[in-house]
Structure formats: structure tokens, C-alpha cells
Amino acid sequence: MEKIVVNGGKKLEGECKIQGSKNASLPIIGATMLSSGENILHMCPMLRDTETACKILQLLGCKTNWQEDALIINSSGLCNNEISKNLMNQMRSSIIFLGAILARCGEARVYFPGGCDIGSRPIDLHIDALKKMGVDVNECGGQLDCKVNGNRMHGAEIFLSFPSVGATENILLAAVTAKGKTVINNAAVEPEIEDLCNYLNKCGAKIVGGGTQIIQIDGVDSLKPCEYTIMPDRIVAATLLCGVAATGGEIFLKSVNAGNLSSVLPVLSDMGCRVRVFGKSIFLKAKDFLFAPKQPIRTMPYPGFPTDLQPIMMALSCFAEGTTIFVETIFENRFRHVPELKRLGASIRVEGRVAVVEGSRELRGACVYGTDLRGGAALIVAGLAAMGRTEIFRLCYVDRGYEKIEEQFSELGANIFRI
């Protein structure tokens, strides 16, 4: 079985450029379906999830082609409206293709999506919104048969009971070419939503308020393809910062938007790291001994602390003197990395949605198993700072979201390799 081996305890140092954002790329890849012609997406990361997204487009009849850092998509040949069960199972984000297929074809057959097992992850908000926009949905045994009433979806006033990222994206993709005006109230405000809106507006959509809680979309008849550069990945940026901090090292991160990490950088400062922002770069220098942050870390929708960084920050906190408390409010099953961190000697107690970490510098290498995407990254971060050899198995998860994570840490001086 493929594994990443880390001989930990080496101080990391150097500079790094950040890959394009996975979570911004996926809905934008889905959105290319809305325009016939060639879209060029720069900085699109080459990952398992973006490959899955390309496979979905190919299945639907689109052409996809990588050229260096760019993904080129031509959706003129789109002729199918069903995503296979197998592809739907591979990632949760496959559901955000639904709004775009309905906009383009008027009908769609999809299945309940799979993805990392971090909670029940329902799709009721997506489905309720599409129904309000004139879609009939028939559900049978996990299969969803959807059909637009009439020849086009229509705009609607939608109120999300929770600011779901995926539901906001699905509604946007359905609404940009729907007839009339759609308003999404309590929309997700994650920067990746704003990136999607920027892409869609560049294609000719009329969206106001992307990245705020109220998004207004005036439906247009059609979109034209465009050339677009995906935003940098804030979760990857923070993973690198945490990995370096755990080793007491220093890093200069280039091409990153520090504003998107406003809930994360103060925690790192609080733990004893010197953090400086210079335009699109972040400099971090860690102390040899980190301290537990004074406040509990509570995951929240943006701009709160990202749930995707909870496992990674937990790995770092294992090396910080004192007690760190994590409260996971977004996903109910997002502590599956805890037993793996414990194999390295971490002291962590979990009760419901709360995890309490007693930090120490005594962690030692062990064999551990990736449990989900960010949980896998957390094990790598822990392995970098643990003494001795850590072997991380089940890389299928971490490869969903990181472009060669071991090479990035290796360039910073880590003794890390994949075999």
C-alpha cells in the first residue's frame, strides 16, 4: 500500500507558492457547463477531486484538457444529463453539478453524493431551493430524477436555514440563466463563493453581492466562456503554516490572500508565532516552544474558524504547552483523526462535539491511517514534528485536496517521501 514516510523533528524553513483553491475550482468547473465554448481556468489544482470533476464533465459530453497549470474545458458537446452513481459517490461536490445540468438540459439524473465521512451531510437545502425554482424532484432509493417545469427554471426568493456553501453554489449555477430574479438570503459568504461569482460575472452573469449574506442574481439568456484565474487555496496555505510552526521553523508564503485567514493567523500569533503580512505574502516564524491558544477554537462558517482546519490546528496544538479546546459546530463526525493522533502519543479527550488537547513535545512516530482529507493532512503535520519515523497510509484522502503535499514539505527541508 502506498504511504508517506516522515522522519520528523527537522525544523522547516523556506518559501512556498500556494496552489489554486480546490473548493473554488470545483464549482467553477461545474459552471463551465453553462457556456458553450472554451473556458480556460488558470491555477486549477491537479487533484483527485478536480480529476473527478473532469470525469463528470467528460461523461456529460464535454472535453477537458490540462495544459501546465491550466484546465481547458469545452462544453459545446454536452449531450448527457446523468452523473453515474460511481462518480457521485467519489465526492460530495458532485451534487453542485445538478443546478448547472438542469440549467443546460432541463433534466438531470443524479444520486445522493458520497465524499469524506465527516457527518451526515444532507442535501435538503439544495433540493428545496431547486424545487422553488420550478424543478420537479423524484427521489427513489438514493436516485434523484429532476425535471424543470416548462423550458427554463425561474428566479425565486430563497432563504437558507444554514449558510451552506454547496447549496449556495448550486443555487447560483441554477439561477444565472433562470428566467427572472433570484435572491439568496443567508447565503454562504466563503471567499470561494465570491470567486465563483467573479467567474460567472466574467462570463456575462448578473450577480450582485457574491461573498455577502444576500446575493441577487438577475437571470440572463446565456453565458459566454472566459479565461479565469482561480483564487489561492486558503486551507493549503494554513496547512503549510501549521506544518512549519509545529517544527519551530519559518516560512514565507507567496501568492496567498491573508485576508481569507483572518480567523487563523491570530491563533498562530497567540500560540507564539511571529506572523507578518506583506501584500500577497505571509511570513511566519515559530518559537521553539508553542503555547496553547488562550481561547477555545470553535469552528464556524466564514469568517469564523474553518472546520477544514480544525484537524490540522489540532495536530499543531498537540505540540503546544497547555490545554487547547476545540468545538466542532459544522460537522458532527469530524474528530476521526483523534485516535490516529493518539497513536503518536497525543493526549486528546473527545466528548460529543468538544475535543480537549493536552499539548506536549513528546510525540513519537508511528503508523497512522488517513481518515478523511483534512484528517490525513493533520497526520502529516503531526509527523513532521514527532520524533522518529511516521508512516501515513490511506493517501487517497489527502490526495483529494493537496497537490503533492510531500514535495512541498520536502522543499521546506522535511525528510518526507512517498513510497
Question: Which residues are designated catalytic?
Answer: 116
CB of 249 to ligand UD1, least distance (A): 27
Residue 56 makes contact with ligand UD1 by CB under 6 A: no
Site for ligand UD1 in 67-106 (CB under 6 A): 92-93
The span from the CA of 394 to the CA of 10, in Å, is 24
CB of 253 to ligand UD1, least distance (A): 20
Phi, psi of 210 (to 5 degrees): -60, 130
Amino acid letter for position 377? A
CB of 294 to ligand UD1, least distance (A): 25
Q: How many CA atoms lie within 13 A of 407 on its CB side?
A: 7
- The SS3 call for residue 366 is coil
Of the candidates 354, 355, 335, 357, the one whose C-alpha atom is nearest the C-alpha of residue 346 is 357
CB of 7 to ligand UD1, least distance (A): 30
Judged by CB, which is closer to ligand UD1: 373, or 382?
Answer: 373
The span from the CA of 253 to the CA of 271, in Å, is 19
CB of 131 to ligand UD1, least distance (A): 12
Tell me how far the alpha carbon of residue 410 is from its chain's centroid: 23
Contact (Cβ atoms closer than 8 angstroms) between residue 159 and residue 185: yes
Judged by CB, which is closer to ligand UD1: 187, or 320?
Answer: 187
User: Which segment (76-84, 118-126, 193-201, 257-265) binds ligand UD1 by CB under 6 A?
Assistant: 118-126
Looking up cell 456575462, which residue turns up?
204
Pairing relationship of beta strands 297-298 and 320-327 according to DSSP bridges: parallel
| Given 77, 122, 142, 259, the residue binding ligand UD1 (CB under 6 A) | 122
Judged by CB, which is closer to ligand UD1: 34, or 330?
Answer: 330
- The SS3 call for residue 413 is coil
Residue 62 makes contact with ligand UD1 by CB under 6 A: no
Site for ligand UD1 in 285-324 (CB under 6 A): 307-308
User: Which segment (114-122, 149-157, 174-182, 219-227) binds ligand UD1 by CB under 6 A?
Assistant: 114-122
| Given 6, 12, 16, 26, the residue binding ligand UD1 (CB under 6 A) | 26
Contact (Cβ atoms closer than 8 angstroms) between residue 236 and residue 18: yes
- With vertex at residue 348, the alpha carbon angle to CA 5 and CA 366, rounded to the nearest 5 degrees, is 20
Judged by CB, which is closer to ligand UD1: 123, or 416?
Answer: 123
Residue 130's contacts (CB-CB under 8 Å, 6 or more residues apart) are: 98, 99, 102, 137, 146, 153, 170, 171, 174
With CB atoms as reference, the residue minimizing the distance to ligand UD1 is: 166
Judged by CB, which is closer to ligand UD1: 10, or 92?
Answer: 92
Site for ligand UD1 in 153-172 (CB under 6 A): 162, 164-167
Residue 141's contacts (CB-CB under 8 Å, 6 or more residues apart) are: none
Judged by CB, which is closer to ligand UD1: 26, or 153?
Answer: 26
The span from the CA of 139 to the CA of 142, in Å, is 7
The span from the CA of 88 to the CA of 111, in Å, is 6
Contact (Cβ atoms closer than 8 angstroms) between residue 47 and residue 75: no
What grid cell was written down for 405?
503535499
CB of 338 to ligand UD1, least distance (A): 17
User: Which segment (115-123, 148-156, 388-396, 411-419) binds ligand UD1 by CB under 6 A?
Assistant: 115-123
Contact (Cβ atoms closer than 8 angstroms) between residue 379 and residue 318: no
CB of 401 to ligand UD1, least distance (A): 8
DSSP 345-362: T-EEEEETTEEEEEE-S-
Q: What is the 3-state secondary structure (H, E, C) of 273-294?
A: EEEEEECCEEEEEECCCEECCC
CB of 321 to ligand UD1, least distance (A): 29
| Given 19, 23, 35, 90, the residue binding ligand UD1 (CB under 6 A) | 23
Site for ligand UD1 in 321-340 (CB under 6 A): 330-331
Judged by CB, which is closer to ligand UD1: 192, or 403?
Answer: 192
User: Which segment (123-131, 269-277, 352-360, 388-396) binds ligand UD1 by CB under 6 A?
Assistant: 123-131
Judged by CB, which is closer to ligand UD1: 263, or 307?
Answer: 307
Binding residues for ligand UD1 (CB under 6 A): 23, 26, 92-93, 119, 121-126, 162, 164-167, 188, 192, 307-308, 330-331
